Structure 1
């Protein structure tokens, strides 16, 4: 199982996500780093474990304030062997091309940023093997064109089930939704995002076929430890 640490960046600082309410996010305070600077947080994560993937949620890009492209080299330097998954609110093929210009980058496209199925097909055509689809949910509602959820043939080989209102909420993952998506994914790798509290939650989602999880709070709180990460990686 892949454990993928998440760094949420807003106005140049790493912030702590709370239930997907982005206006309430504040600069992170964590025992892993001396500040909320992306470089400090990334180095702290690298000391915890040699992660092979890192997820960057560029909230400035998602909310239309301009993308933090300068952060990618900083993160890559801290975790030199990591594939960096980047969600920057990409809604066009030209924007996708900009993200993918970094050799370490994997493009994450959230359905909340997709207006039409045709738009998605145009984006994913740029680099299908370097594109991950995030199926975004908030308060039980799917965010994006209904066909993106209902027609699994549109999904690439890697799919995130993103439950935004459970991010940082300490409520646990939505197991029913994850099971439904895994069942329909038919061999695609499914990643859980939102609600992972501890090692027990990771064990539960692994049992239903989830391939990995995006995690932030549980790493910073120590509820998922370096020993946990080593054991999970060895499976």
Structure 2
């Protein structure tokens, strides 16, 4: 679920300036985050929701009021939160204002400030978290060089191909395979491109443990049993 200016927006191709409030067959007439979250979780029979805070990812403030409302209204909900965290301290400051134990930070390679920050995010004493390896149009979004340090990657890694987000062009299984070869111990979660049930089955066969999906759910292209 992508949040921008207090609304859920439809992500297409990673062009965040062009994102518009969600138009969804699943949530007809609403881009309100709580309504969309409830519909998504009910349709997918899930209590886990990935949230990208696009305000924060573009240098603004984290949408804490929206996140707090989701957690209060949905007591069993857990979040994976990507909010442009530059380091562990930035994530810790946000998590301290949310309900303990219900939010895992996602550290994106596009946002981490340094290799030292990467190492500190996932050392033995760190809060459990995920790494998102972000790329767009064949290029890593990675000012710190996270893609080159699989020895520092955590147990769960998101493989994010931004140009495929919302495009329905199929999962990026080539990049998934490259990441798997670099770090066989990691549990890989893909992101972008899924258009339907067959894509999810292909991704699972290729070794993905899970896949982040939004557009295919909103367009009712995934069977509930496959979500």
Tell me which residue corresponds to 1:157.
Answer: 155
- 5+ residue gaps, structure 1: 1-6, 230-235
Residue number among 141, 144, 147 corresponding to 1:143 in the alignment:
141
Give the 3 Å change call, closer, same or farther, for CA 127–168 of structure 1 in structure 2: farther
Aligned positions, number? 223
- 5+ residue gaps, structure 2: none
* 2:131–2:153 contact (8 Å) kept in structure 1: yes
Q: TM-score, with normalisation over the residues of structure 2?
A: 0.91
1:95 and 1:126 mapped to 2: Cα distance?
18
Map 1:31-180; keep pairs closer than 5 Å: 31-33=25-27, 34-77=29-72, 79-101=74-96, 102=98, 103=100, 104-125=102-123, 128=126, 130-145=128-143, 147-180=145-178
Tell me which residue corresponds to 1:29.
Answer: 23
- SS at structure 1 position matched to 2:64: coil
- SS at structure 1 position matched to 2:174: helix
1:126 and 1:16 mapped to 2: Cα distance?
36
- SS at structure 2 position matched to 1:168: coil
Q: Tell me how far 1:115 sits from its aligned partner.
A: 2.5
1:208 and 1:169 mapped to 2: Cα distance?
20
Q: Which has the higher helix share?
A: 1
Give the 3 Å change call, closer, same or farther, for CA 188–214 of structure 1 in structure 2: same
- SS at structure 1 position matched to 2:147: helix
Greater relative contact order (CA < 8 Å, ≥ 6 in sequence): 1
Divergent runs of 4+, >6 A:
none
2:210 and 2:125 mapped to 1: Cα distance?
22
Deviates more, 1:48-57 or 1:144-153: 144-153
